[in-house]
């Protein structure tokens, strides 16, 4: 059986981190499984965890009155689900739901924030990766908003 | 018999040959595939990626990529989206209607250049139609290629084209088919997001990959960028550029992109040649 630190090596999010840093991250982590349709987290609830998908598919959703759940994006193997654990007031803004049977590594956000506070170099390495992820998600959202395949394209 | 049926066969490239609509297939709410057979003369010989000028008599003419299987005998097939007066006339043509066809024109995908390596095809919207002949060509000699991946972005699940083909490519021909949509209803269980986000995770060896990309120019530019980031060489990334083609034979200049006349030099061109031109807004 592979250790959690070894599992993290599969995710591009952790690429470039040495074994010592991975061990620190792994110290705040455990494995998790979700069935199709199961919520990883729900909007409005405290954001105290985040996930790295090992295998599966997770949809980021917003509940709209009269429409139900609107899927904003989906996340695949190796991708990180959730960043509200890092930003006050630490409350989820969207729902995250398994769109397929999903295995993941779950991180304790409070544990990780404490370790980053104690080790700014580690915190900087984490923030670089979170910033890169936010940048990529923002760019993807902008492209979606262009409605490239609509009537105007 | 109408007056059109009595016209003689023609060989002048500026005059259309007569083809009869033998079958129509409604692909989505605004997109139709027409199967055509020549009224007289032999069937059209074409390569994957080429286009024809389709003429709706009394309405006008538009460039449409061929979407059929060039490796098999059969009707000449085009998939057309209803976006204007000419395309509306074409997508509403009933079996028996005679339309005009000029061509085939332009460069093809030259899929065989990918033999011995991996091939990744990235389609956006109606851009899957020009790539379909390339996929069928690969399927006809599947063992000659390594991993083959189709990344397909659609506006919504209702706009996904060629669902039976997507299933056949995946299940019968070992092609990795990944579909994503920009907007989804709750009933959709697949991926949501731009097709460009699939490039980073797709299974292919960038050093030995031929990439074929077709869709809106912004989508192609972003896809080419993602492919370059993965390590695919610019000269191994081919885009299908379809800008305002009018004559199809390099005479009128409407599709000029600086030194390129896209109806003759293209539509399929390597990104290494296109990249400097696509960055110039005035072109």
Average pLDDT over residues B253-260: 91
pLDDT band at B55 (very low <50, low <70, confident <90, very high): very high
- The Cα B101–Cα B167 span in angstroms is 31
Please list, in sequence order, all residues whose beta carbon lies within 8 angstroms of the beta carbon of residue B15, skipping any fewer than 6 positions away: B102
Rounded to an integer, what distance in angstroms lies between the CA atom of residue A77 and that of residue B191? 12
Token readout for B196 is 């460009």
Question: Nearest-CA neighbor of B58 among B88, B28, B14?
Answer: B88
Any idea how long chain B is? 283
Q: Inspect the interface and report whether the beta carbons of B191 and A136 lie closer than 8 Å.
A: no
Task: Assess whether pLDDT exceeds 90 at residue B97.
Answer: yes
Q: Report pLDDT for B279.
A: 83
**Are A146 and B153 in contact (CB < 8 Å)?**
no
Residue B7, pLDDT score: 52
When the pLDDT of each residue in chain B is averaged and rounded to a whole number, the result is: 93
Q: How many CB atoms lie within 10 A of CB B36?
A: 25
Interval B102-111 mean pLDDT: 96
Kindly determine whether residue A147 and residue B193, on different chains, have CB atoms separated by under 8 Å.
no
Residue B4 has a pLDDT of 52
Question: Would you state the pLDDT for residue A148?
Answer: 92
For residue B69, pLDDT over 70 is answered with yes
Length of chain A: 153
State the nearest Cα–Cα gap between B21 and chain A, in angstroms.
26
Question: A52 is written with which tokens?
Answer: 């790295």
In angstroms, the CA B253 to CA B257 distance is 9
pLDDT of residue B10: 53
- Helices and strands counted in chain B (H then E): 7, 15
**Beta-strand pair B17-28/B31-38:** antiparallel
Instruction: Look over chain A and give the mean of its residue pLDDT values, rounded to a whole number.
Output: 93
Is B184 in contact with B157 (CB distance < 8 Å)? yes
- Between residues A6 and A41, which one has the greater pLDDT? A41
Q: What's the CA gap between A63 and A70, in Å, rounded?
A: 6
Residue B5 pLDDT > 90, yes or no? Answer: no
**How many other C-beta atoms can be found within 10 angstroms of the C-beta atom of residue B44?**
20
A-B C-beta contacts closer than 8 Å? 66
Per-residue confidence (pLDDT) for residue A117, from 0 to 100 = 94
Beta bridge partners of B168: none
Q: How far apart are CA B34 and CA A65, in angstroms?
A: 41
Measure in Å the smallest separation between the Cα of A48 and chain B Cα atoms.
25
Note if the bond before B145 is cis, omega within 30 degrees: no
pLDDT on residue B3: 52
As a whole number, mean pLDDT of residues B204-233 equals 96
Please name which of B106, B100, B118 lies closest in space to residue B266, comparing C-alpha atoms: B106
Say how far apart CA B98 and CA B83 lie, in whole Å. 21
Instruction: Please name which of B240, B246, B248 lies closest in space to residue B274, comparing C-alpha atoms.
Output: B240
Q: Are the beta carbons of A148 and B125 separated by less than 8 Å?
A: yes
Query: Does residue A65 or residue B127 have the better pLDDT?
Result: B127
User: pTM of the entire structure?
Assistant: 0.91
Tell me how far apart the terminal alpha carbons of chain B are, to the nearest angstrom. 46
Q: Specify the pLDDT at position B281.
A: 78
ipTM over 0.85: yes
Confidence of residue B62 (pLDDT cuts 50, 70, 90): very high
Provide the pLDDT for residue B192. 96
Of B155, B180, B219, which is closest to A150 when you measure between CB atoms? B155
Mean pLDDT of B91-100: 97
Measured distance CA(A15)–CA(B200) in Å, rounded? 14
A151 part of contact set with chain B, CB < 8 Å: yes
**CA separation for the pair B196, A61 (Å, rounded):** 20
The mean per-residue pLDDT over the stretch A50-66 comes to: 93
Q: Rounded to whole angstroms, what are the CA distances from B32 to A152, B29, B159, B161, B257? A: 19, 8, 12, 10, 30
Q: What percentage of chain A exceeds 90 in pLDDT? A: 86
Q: A67-116, pLDDT tens digit by residue?
A: 888 999 999 999 999 999 999 999 999 999 999 999 999 999 999 999 99
Spatial distance between the Cα atoms of B201 and B184, rounded to a whole number of angstroms: 21
pLDDT at A153 (0 to 100)? 41
């Amino acid at each position: 059986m592979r250790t959690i630190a070894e599992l993290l090596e599969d995710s591009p999010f952790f690429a470039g981190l040495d074994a010592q840093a991975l061990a620190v991250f792994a110290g705040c982590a455990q494995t998790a499984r979700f069935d199709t349709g199961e919520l990883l987290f729900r909007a409005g609830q405290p954001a105290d965890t985040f996930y790295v998908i090992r295998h599966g598919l997770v949809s980021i959703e917003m509940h709209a009155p009269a429409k139900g759940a609107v899927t904003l994006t989906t996340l695949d193997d190796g991708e990180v689900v959730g960043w509200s654990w890092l930003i006050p007031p630490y409350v989820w803004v969207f729902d995250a739901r398994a769109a397929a049977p999903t295995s993941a590594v779950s991180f304790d956000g409070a544990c990780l924030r404490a370790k980053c506070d104690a080790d700014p170099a580690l915190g900087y390495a984490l923030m670089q990766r979170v910033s890169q992820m936010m940048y990529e998600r923002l760019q993807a959202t902008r492209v979606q908003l262009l409605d490239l395949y609509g009537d105007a394209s | 018999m109408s007056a059109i049926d009595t016209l003689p066969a023609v060989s002048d490239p500026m005059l259309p040959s007569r083809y009869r609509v033998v079958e129509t297939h409604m692909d989505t709410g605004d997109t139709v595939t027409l199967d055509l057979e020549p009224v007289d003369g032999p069937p059209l010989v074409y390569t994957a990626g080429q286009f024809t000028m389709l003429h709706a008599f009394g309405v006008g003419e538009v460039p449409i990529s061929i979407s059929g299987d060039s490796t098999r005998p059969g009707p000449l097939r085009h998939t057309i989206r209803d976006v204007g007066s000419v395309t509306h006339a074409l997508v509403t043509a009933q079996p028996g209607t005679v339309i005009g066809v000029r061509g085939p024109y332009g460069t093809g995908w030259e899929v065989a250049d990918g033999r011995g390596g991996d091939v990744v095809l990235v389609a956006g919207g109606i851009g899957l139609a020009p790539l379909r002949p390339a996929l069928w060509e690969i399927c006809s000699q599947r063992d000659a290629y390594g991993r083959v991946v189709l990344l397909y972005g659609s506006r919504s699940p209702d706009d996904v084209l060629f669902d039976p083909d997507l299933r056949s490519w995946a299940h019968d021909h070992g092609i990795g088919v990944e579909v994503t949509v920009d907007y989804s209803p709750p009933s959709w269980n697949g991926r949501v997001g731009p097709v460009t986000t699939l490039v980073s995770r797709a299974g292919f060896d960038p050093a030995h990959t031929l990439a074929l990309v077709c869709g809106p120019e912004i989508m192609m530019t972003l896809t080419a960028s993602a492919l370059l980031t993965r390590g695919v060489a610019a000269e191994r990334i081919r885009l299908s550029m379809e800008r305002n083609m009018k004559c199809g034979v390099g005479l009128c200049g409407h599709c000029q992109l600086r030194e390129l006349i896209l109806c003759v030099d293209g539509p399929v061109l390597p990104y290494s040649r296109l990249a400097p031109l696509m960055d110039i807004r005035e072109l």
